[in-house]
Structures are given as structure tokens and as C-alpha cells.
Amino acid sequence: MSDPWSTVVRMVSRQEFGSDEASDAVTRYPDEADQGTDQPALDELDVSLREVTFCVIDLETTGMANDSRITEIGAVKVRGGEVLGEFQTLINPGVSIPDFITKLTGISDATVVSAPYLRQVFASLVEFCRDCVMVAHNARFDMGFILRAAAALGYDWPSLTVVDTVGLARRVIPRHEVVNYRLGTLAEYFSTTVDPSHRALDDARATVDVLYGLLERVGNQSVSSLEDLLQFSHTISKARRSRKTWADGLPEGPGVYFFVRDSDRGRSVLYVGTSKRIRRRVATYFTAAESRRRMDEMVALATGVEAVECHTALEAAVVELRLITAHQPPYNRRSKQPHHTWIKLTDEPVPRLSIVRNVLDEASYCGPFPGRAGADQAVLAVYEAFPLRRCVERLSVSRQREPCALAELGVCPAPCTLEGLHCYDGLVDQVRNCFAGDARPVKHACDTTMQELSSQYRYEEAGEVLQRWRQFERAMRRGARLRAVARCPQIVAARPVGPCWEIHVIRFGQLAGASVALPGDDPQRVAESVLATAKTVTPEVAGMPAGSIEETELVASWLELEGVRLLDIDGVWGWPVNTQA
């Protein structure tokens, strides 16, 4: 009898389920889990699927739309044909269940009235599915709900690899053998031990048997690994397969790889990626494991691939970011330069607010914002607390001018009339203090306005004020986080990763050096060695990151990870206490 676990999983990305960014390979290197789990690394395509843990999941919901709610979850965890565990719970959706759903599933409002809410059980579901390859019948539906729920509840879903039994059945079973590929039809075809009943656990159990049946159908095709079935399921050109030798001379370890194209115009970088195992990862681009059309096109255009070895995941992420910024590779989705904006309190006799794209001096700034729209909203939030002038002319403190219409309406304090200039200076000082890290005045002013509007039943306008405050608050928090790292001339920090220690030298928010202390090494001595060779960094503007904002945010994220220890610090790494009001 053929091995029922000799098959493949269907690779899908977050983008397929509604995310903004497609996954590079199965997982991206900076996000990969630490070693030591039972689950094999999913970029090892030659691993036997007998060693992979599968989690078969099914959901019942209040409808088919994206904004419908989950009413029941059922999941079965299996490995090598053995059932490892089951997960089942009803969910209180917080909304009324439609009658047609109740007739279909038997789940009514009364059934779920005492059931937990999704947020109460989602952490348990995440742990149950961790380190598993997910399986679902019509995975786009079930995993779409799961990923949207994870995003809404603030969880990072632990798996991006999914087997869709619908898609697998369509490739394995000819249409003349079944009338359709619904779960009930396939359950009858394979004589499953459990009949689907539109209840989550029963349907998950039936899907397990359907999966067994499908795997038996391909088991006699010499399919014994993930790569085998990827080749079985997809076809690739001989020209693309022949380029697999490009990976032979690449490093075995972690780092950054980039595909290049040599032409009469010189060399250009087509694509940049990262991996824990560069050679193995690059080799997958020349197999059916890589099924993205744009990657197929990129490989056809490339004339070679090169790599940069890195010590740590953070170093790899930073090198990748720098290469993308420098070369703008056309096949990276992140190739476009980010457009940051800032709110600046202008440096003139009678200051005002201005939206700018760069921080060029030591004036008072609020930001960064991801674009102009957010900055525009945040400016309106600042005006709620501080009635600064809104005209754009440069005013003199010695020449009087006629007040504008805004002054007559009481919106502007009219410093142009030279009356109350001293009070206006005090107002400007308050704005500087606010931008330096005290968001409370803006929060108080926005809260007061929202309460007034709500008392007048003007809820839509109150909602607009709330959005302005949120834009301002996010920018204040983001700016404080950046400045906290950027104002430190040097930070030396270490973090345990398995038996090793990642060690980084950070200067003015830029990664200046990285290494790893292996078992038996003295981390302090390794840190001293990194310091001796670390890059000299000088910021262009005091208090601002020496590198890009994106790089400093990568560094800040690493520093905030659990287990990071500061070995040495020059400066103060901390946030103003009232940045988040």
C-alpha cells in the first residue's frame, strides 16, 4: 500500500487570504521561528511529510461575507497518520445568527448564548495550530476568517502553509469520477468514518479522511516529499530547471540573496530576499515550489544570483532593506521609496505649522507620518488644542497687519495685529513642549470636542475628530520610539537564540555591527570584537536616525524583543512619559 503521507502541501501567502504583502517563499527569514521545534523547517522542500504535523480545521460562521462572524471552530492535529489532538468550541459571535444558518448547522442564538467570545479562545487556537501545516476544505474561506480574526485581535498567525483539499482533489480526481468537489461528495467517495454535518469538528474529522484518500491517490506516483509533489502538481520549463546550478556556489548559512541581470547597460538588481539557508532557498526558485508568476518572469530575466552572508536575522533584514533602497529592484513589492511627512513648527518670528517631507534642522517636529493625508488630519488635531495662526505668510513682529476672516471668527489669535504677541509666544512654547513628548493637551482638547459633538448627536463629526487624534497619537508614539534609539550614540545589546547569543552594536539608530556568540564563546568578548570593527556613524540631524526610518524601526523592534539584554549604552533609551495620553 502506498504511503498516505507521501504528498505535498499547497503553498499560499497572506496575500491570497487578504493581506497586503505576499510571502517571500514559505516564510521570510526575519520572521522564522527559532530552532528546536518538532516541525521541520518549511523551506526544506525535501523533508518527508511523514514528519510534518498537519492541523485540519473547519469553521461554522454566520454567513459567507468577510464581515461575518465565527460561531464554531473544530480542528484535528495529525502527524504520520496519528491523531495528536482535537480542538472544538462554540463561539458567541456577538450578533444574531440568521435563520438559514441555524437551519443549516443547528447552531442558534440560544446555542451560543453562554459560549465564549472569539477573543477568549483565540490564544488557545493559536497554540494548538502552532508549528503545523494547516489543512482545510476550501482553505480560502476558513483561513481567510482565521487570518482576519488574528489581525483584528493582534495575533501573529503561526503558519502560512496550507493544504487546500478542494484544490488537491481537483488535481487528483478526474471530473468524471465525482459530480463536484464538495466535502460531502468527497466524503461519500472516500467512505469517510465521519459524515460531514455542517458542524465544525465533524467536518474537520471528515476532511482528515478525505485528505488520507487524496494522499493515497498520489502515493503511487513516487511522491515522498514536499518537493516531489510540488513537481507533481506544477510544471516548469527546462530552461528554468537548468538554472538550479546557480545555487551551488552560494553560502549554506543565513543572509541575503539577490538576482541580477547583466546587459549592455550594466548590471541591475532584479530581486532581493532573505533566508536562513541561502543555497537551499535560492534552489527553490528553479523548481515548482516557486509558483508566483512575477518570480517566474524574474528568473527568466536574471543572468545570475549573488548572496551576502549575515550573522543574525536583524542584520539580514537591515541588509535587505539597504539593498532594496539602493537598487529599487523591480520585482520587490517594497521597492518604492516610502514617503514620510512631518509636522514642523516653523522657525520664524511668528511660527506656524507646516507639513514637510524631511527633518533638516533642530526645529520642533511631530512625526513621521506615512503620507500627507495623516499629517493633514493630525494638524487639525493640534489646532483643537493650540489655536495657532493658519495663514502661510511670513509675519513681522514690528509691522502690523489687518486681521483675516479666521481672526474675526475667533479661530485665530491674530498675532498679525501685534496685539497679544507675548501670549502667542507662550502658545508656541506649549506646542514645542507637546511635540517634545507631551500629548495630553491634544488628547484633552479632542476629547472635549468629541463630547460636545456627541451631546449634539453629531456623531459623524465626532468620529472625524477621533480619527484626527489617532493620527496624531500614532505619529507621536512612532516619533518617540525612533528618537529614543536615535539619540543614543551607542547601544550594545545581546539576545539569546537557542544556545547562542545574537550581539548587535547600534549607533544613532543604525546597525553598526553584528555577530553571534556560539556555545562556549564569551559573549562579552564577542561584543568587544564587534565593537572594534563596528561602523562609525554620524547623524546628519541631531536626535534623528543616522540611517533610514525603516532601519531604525527594525532595530527598535529587535531591542524590544523579550530576552534582550543591554551590555553597554551611551545615552538614555526611554520614551517621554506622556507620549501616549
CATH code for the domain of 111: 3.30.420.10
Residue 333 lies in a domain: no
Question: Per-residue b/e over 448-463, b at no fewer than 16 CB within 10 Å?
Answer: ebbeebeeeeeeeebe
In the annotation, is 198 catalytic?
yes
Residues of the chain with pLDDT > 90: what percent? 61
Q: Do 296 and 405 reside in the same domain of the chain?
A: no
Mean pLDDT of the chain: 85
453, 481, 509 — which closes off a domain?
481
Q: Do 86 and 175 reside in the same domain of the chain?
A: yes
Residues of the chain with pLDDT > 70: what percent? 86
Q: Do 296 and 437 reside in the same domain of the chain?
A: no
Residue 578 lies in a domain: no
Distance CA 277, CA 46 (A): 14
Q: Is the pLDDT of residue 227 over 80?
A: no
Q: Do 158 and 39 reside in the same domain of the chain?
A: yes
Residues β-bridged to residue 570: 490
User: What's the pLDDT score for residue 4?
Assistant: 34
Residue 140 lies in a domain: yes
Q: Do 158 and 216 reside in the same domain of the chain?
A: yes
Higher-scoring residue by pLDDT: 554, 222: 554
Q: Tens digits of per-residue pLDDT, 19-72?
A: 333 323 222 333 333 333 344 444 455 667 677 788 999 999 999 998 899 999
Q: Do 376 and 271 reside in the same domain of the chain?
A: no
Is 153 strand, coil or helix? helix
Distance CA 41, CA 176 (A): 38
Please, where are the H alpha helices in 222-292? 226-233, 238-242, 278-283
Residue 3 lies in a domain: no
- For residue 424, what is its C-alpha cell? 502667542
Please check whether residue 368 is in contact with residue 356, taking contact to mean a CB–CB distance below 8 angstroms: no
Q: Do 41 and 115 reside in the same domain of the chain?
A: yes
Environment class of 335 (CB within 10 Å of its CB; exposed 0-12, middle 13-18, buried 19+) = middle
Q: Do 295 and 411 reside in the same domain of the chain?
A: no
User: What's the pLDDT score for residue 29?
Assistant: 37
Mean per-residue pLDDT, 190-205? 95
Cα–Cα distances in Å, from 138 out to 143, 183, 397? 9, 9, 70
481, 506, 523 — which closes off a domain?
481
pLDDT category, 15, cuts 50, 70, 90? Answer: very low
Q: Tens digits of per-residue pLDDT, 472-511?
A: 999 999 999 999 999 999 999 999 999 999 999 999 999 9
Higher-scoring residue by pLDDT: 20, 175: 175
Mean per-residue pLDDT, 143-151? 93
Neighbours of 403 (CB within 10 A): 15
Please check whether residue 259 is in contact with residue 269, taking contact to mean a CB–CB distance below 8 angstroms: yes
Please, where are the H alpha helices in 130-222? 139-153, 165-172, 183-190, 200-219
pLDDT category, 234, cuts 50, 70, 90? Answer: low
Q: Do 105 and 130 reside in the same domain of the chain?
A: yes
CATH code for the domain of 317: 3.40.1440.10
Boundaries of domain holding 516: 487-570
Distance CA 259, CA 246 (A): 10
Cα–Cα distances in Å, from 521 out to 340, 410, 496, 513, 530? 42, 69, 13, 18, 13
434, 451, 481 — which closes off a domain?
481
Query: Which residue in the list 137, 176, 198, 444 is annotated as catalytic?
Result: 198
Residue 335 lies in a domain: no
Q: Is the pLDDT of residue 98 over 50?
A: yes
Q: Tens digits of per-residue pLDDT, 318-363?
A: 999 999 999 999 998 876 677 899 999 999 999 999 999 999 887 8
Mean per-residue pLDDT, 127-146? 90
User: What's the pLDDT score for residue 51?
Assistant: 78
State the helix-helix crossing angle for 440-455 and 421-435, rounded to 10 degrees: 100
User: What's the pLDDT score for residue 453?
Assistant: 96
Give phi and psi for 412, each to the nearest 5: -115, 140
Is 190 strand, coil or helix? helix
User: What's the pLDDT score for residue 108?
Assistant: 95
Higher-scoring residue by pLDDT: 440, 410: 440
Residue 321 lies in a domain: yes
Q: Do 221 and 255 reside in the same domain of the chain?
A: no
Which amino acid makes up residue 365? Answer: Y
Mean per-residue pLDDT, 5-22? 32
Strands of 304-309's sheet, edge to edge?
266-275, 255-263, 304-309
Q: Do 154 and 299 reside in the same domain of the chain?
A: no
Please check whether residue 307 is in contact with residue 250, taking contact to mean a CB–CB distance below 8 angstroms: yes
Number of domains within the chain = 4
Residue 5 lies in a domain: no
Residue 332 lies in a domain: no
Distance CA 159, CA 156 (A): 9
pLDDT category, 232, cuts 50, 70, 90? Answer: low
Higher-scoring residue by pLDDT: 22, 164: 164
Task: Give the N- to C-terminal CA distance of the chain in Å, as an integer.
Answer: 66
Mean per-residue pLDDT, 103-128? 95
Mean per-residue pLDDT, 249-255? 91
Q: Do 125 and 67 reside in the same domain of the chain?
A: yes
